[in-house]
Chain A
Amino acid sequence: MRISKDPNWPDRDRLILSKGHVAVGVYPILADLGYFPKEWLDNYARIGSPLGDHPDMRKVPGIDFSSGSLGHGLSVGIGMALGLRLKNSPGRVFVLMGDGELNEGQIWEAAQSAKQYRLGNVIGIIDRNEMQFDGLTEEVMGIEPLADKWKSFGWQVHNCDGNSIPELIRTFDSIPAGTDRPQLVIAKTIKGKGLPYMENSRVWHLGHLTGADAAAAIAELNSSN
């Protein structure tokens, strides 16, 4: 992504966490970039902390838009992309969506408007872990055939292994510059990857590890890496 030391650089690429509940995965990166003190991380979700479960752009430098209500992020990205193009900015807009989130109708309103306005500067990413709160996506509210749906909405679709960083980099690098087709990356992932008791387990769609449990999980992840 095109970013700089200034989190408000006008020509930067934007990242919208449409699945806002992944903010906890982005906060440490923003701290590493120097956008806010690393000490903030220790107070995550505690009273008065700028860092909540869902990100607030007015509290956290580097968060390009507040999110949390599923289905909104792609629309916000469409607006950003229209605006950046109007300014002749090279900035692009990355929108990370959940697969369960695609149940929301507003996603498809946004998808059709990206094609209508030829927004090649929008890159959608779907975290295709095949799970949502109450179970498997295809059991709760099926979204397949996923790639065909996006293709029929006029998007160029890329598939990759979302747990492989080299493959993600290759995929993003393969996206053509100057295209007028909106781009979509379907990143196939395994939920809870690296902790066998969590992998693809419904109960670990949402959970909380503290104390010794957290320490054991960290040790296990470190040993497998």
Chain B
Amino acid sequence: MTSVTDIKFQDKDSWHLGTLSSQTRSFVAGQVLADIADKDDRIVIMNADLGHANRTIEFAEKHPERYFNMGIAEHNMVSASAGLASVGYIPYIGTFASFLGILCCEQIRTDLAYPNMPVRLLSHHAGISLGYYGTSHHATEDIGIMRSMANMKIICPADSYSLEHAIRQTVDLEGPIYFRLGGGDDPDVYHPGDAWQFDKIQLLREGKDAVIFANGMMVHPALEAAKKLAQDGIDIAVADLHTVLPIDRKSLLSILDKTPLAFVAEDHNTRSGVATAVADEIVDSQLSGVRLVRIGFPPNEYAIIGAPYHLYQHYGLTTAGLEARIRAELRKREI
């Protein structure tokens, strides 16, 4: 009898759950936490029947007694994580961002944020990264929801390196943390030895004509767009604004002071996400003369159907899309 794992695919796009881990190489939380948990008894993981998708199942191989699959019952998972935290554990709980950040909003606010419980939300496949799964599986509002909660922290790592550093640097922080992750196939932005510091903006590229603030899966296309524009003498800075809350106000204002034309590129709606966080700082600091351009998901729409690649293209959230938008804005400015 042929086992399902013995089937050899003929086309590169064919896959099944057994091959999923090779498509989600940036989901390293399970491995990193398994390593931390060797010396830290407080680490536990919960997931809601998506342990193979977010690869937290790799934690279970090393620490099965500290791994809890709560089934397709996300509300229960979030509230139960609060109970675990209240007796001394640090739970990392994972599922799609649409279900953690949107479905479980009230449990997160009332059971995690209000009592300030050290629960870490591994909220993956955020934005429109689930493509043709459709709006039920998209999360283009979750940063806005999380940002409005007291005691919350939000980190959007760009790749596996920054996810690992984000996890390791925040283990001992008080209160809940929302880790907003992409589709798991994010190209590397950082390399071994690179600086990555929680709650600090990382200026990845200097530039005098404009700056792009990006985070998560938008950092890589922002860097690539800046490289393309540089070929035409357009000098664009790129800043990784991975920690949306608490925001690094000092660096943000210093960058805006030098480069008053700013783009924010985000896989989130433009009404309540990263651009809004930046705009809040500009307003609260009474910084004048800044021009802020929001590039993200349109706030009055739900996505059309399409594969992730095509959706990002459609909404201009690719290297080419960012490049075209920046050129267009620079042209407007010249007129």
B-contacting residues of A (Cβ < 8 Å)? 10, 56-58, 64-66, 68-69, 71-72, 75-84, 86-87, 89, 93, 105-106, 109-110, 112-113, 116-117
Contacts and interface: CB of A to CB of B under 8 A. Distances in A.
A109 B75 contact: yes
Interface string B109-127: 0110011100000000000
Contacts, number: 98
B65 interface: yes
Contacts of B308: none
Contacts of B106: 69
Contacts of B111: 66, 72, 76
B84 interface: yes
A84 B79 contact: no
B73 A83 contact: no
Contact of B115 (A10, A65, A93, A117): A65
Given A58-B115, A86-B66, A112-B71, A75 B87 contact: no
A75 B76 contact: yes
B73 A109 contact: yes
B304 to A, nearest CB: 32
A69 B112 CA distance: 13
B75 A66 contact: no
Nearest to B109: A69
Nearest to A105: B75
Contacts of A116: 71
Interface in B48-74: 65-66, 68, 70-71, 73
Contacts of A89: 87
A87 B83 CA distance: 14
A87 B44 CA distance: 12
Residue from A58, A75, A110, A113 whose CB has the most chain B CB atoms within 10 Å: A75
The secondary structure that dominates the A interface is helix
Interface residues of B, number: 29
A83 B41 CA distance: 11
A77 B44 CA distance: 16
Given A65-B83, A65-B115, A113-B80, A83 B75 contact: no
Given A58-B115, A84-B87, 4 more contacts: A65-B115, A79-B83, A82-B68, A110-B80
B87 A66 contact: no
B75 A80 contact: no
Nearest to B72: A109
B86 interface: yes
Contacts of B115: 56-58, 65-66
B114 A79 contact: no
B84 to A, nearest CB: 4
B162 to A, nearest CB: 29
B83 A81 contact: yes
16 contacts: A10-B87, A10-B88, A57-B86, A69-B110, A75-B76, A75-B107, A76-B82, A78-B79, A79-B82, A79-B87, A80-B86, A83-B83, A83-B89, A86-B44, A87-B88, A106-B76
Contacts of A83: 44, 83-84, 86-89
Contact of A117 (B44, B68, B73, B89): B68
B26 interface: no
Given A65-B115, A66-B114, A112 B87 contact: no
Contact of B84 (A56, A66, A79): A79
A79 B88 contact: no
A25 B221 CA distance: 58
Q: Which 3 A-B pairs have the closest CB atoms?
A: A79-B83, A75-B79, A79-B80
B64 to A, nearest CB: 12
